[in-house]
Structure 1
Amino acid sequence: MYIEMQDKTGQVSEALQQDTIKLLNFAADFIHLPENKEMAITYVLNDEIQEINREYRGKDVPTDVVSLEYEPEDIAFGEDFEMPEELQAELEDFDSFIGELYISIEKAQEQADNYGHRYERELGFLAVHGFLHINGYDHMVPEDEKVMFALQEEILTAYGLTR
């Protein structure tokens, strides 16, 4: 899986970014995601993630991670639209892009302090949590929460990123 990484904060080391890429590739293998998939991660501060949270989720508060899942079938065309071959090829390329994550490093540090574990573990947790969201997992109802949370803990433990 290809992961585009951007650190808008200038505070996430290259080593930690590379560790996150390795972790998410491990997670992708763990859930048997096809190798041709792509995603993006952007590290931000609380003010920026609050804007993103407000825009996409209607919640005007900073949060730890925002996951934006992309599904090509969500693109709607008019009834009479005939798709040019060039556009069809672009949409097929777009099908490989599964989504993007925004992670607040300030929230990650705050939560690591509150939970009593390492900052690196919290960033890894948030990356896996968001990754599972963009791959269709959710925790809106108790049954789904049990599945998603068990899977994210299984991935983190198997990778060796424990509390």
Structure 2
Amino acid sequence: MYIELVDETNKVPKEIIEQTKHILNFAAEKLGLRPSTEMAVTFVDNARSHELNLQYRDTDRPTDVISLEYKPDEEEFFFDEEMDIPEELLEEMDPFIGELYISIDKAQEQAQDFGHSLEREYAWLAVHGFLHINGYDHYPMGGPEEAEMFGLQEEILTAYGLTR
């Protein structure tokens, strides 16, 4: 999977940027995504996170990760799940699945609050956002969707080697 990584803050250590790329590729393999899949991850500060959260979620505060799922125009692409689409055609279609914005300020706060490493927090946020852009959700809280998403998220992090 191709991942465009941008650090708007110029404060994210190179190791975290590399880890983000590796864990997202690991998660993509776990979900069985095509190698031609593409996405973007941008590291931002709380001010930018606040701005994006207001713009996309109508929520007037910063947040830890914003996931923007890309959905092609349904009039341009209409496929029934039962259709047998040749692999060559699938590879030619727009492979972009979405983008994540991760707040470095929230990552640092939450790593301290939860008592785990900054590496685990960045990975948790990346995988969490990645699952969202791949159709997973955790609402309503306490429901089966939440259990499925958080279970898969923990499975990916543990298999990758980032335990609590």
TM-score by length of 2: 0.87
What pairs with 1:54-73 in structure 2 (closer than 5 Å)? 54-73=54-73
In the alignment, does 2:91 pair up with 1:116?
A: no
Offset from partner CA, 1:98-138 (integer Å, 9 cap, x none)? 00000000000000000000011100000000000000000
**Cα shift at 1:73:** 3.2
Percent identical pairs in the alignment equals 58
**Cα shift at 1:15:** 2.1
SS in 1 for 2:73: helix
Whole-angstrom CA distance in 1 between matches of 2:75 and 2:100: 20
Q: Corresponding residue for 1:4?
A: 4
Residue type of the alignment partner of 1:147: E
SS in 2 for 1:73: coil
In the alignment, does 2:52 pair up with 1:28?
A: no
The number of aligned residues is 149
Residue type of the alignment partner of 1:59: T
Structure 2, unaligned runs of 5 or more: 77-88
Residue type of the alignment partner of 1:18: E
TM-score by length of 1: 0.87
Structure 1, unaligned runs of 5 or more: 77-88
SS in 2 for 1:157: helix
Whole-angstrom CA distance in 2 between matches of 1:18 and 1:152: 19
Q: Would you identify which runs of 4 or more consecutive aligned residues in structure 1 move more than 6 Å?
A: none
**Cα shift at 1:74:** 4.7
* Larger proportion of helix: 1
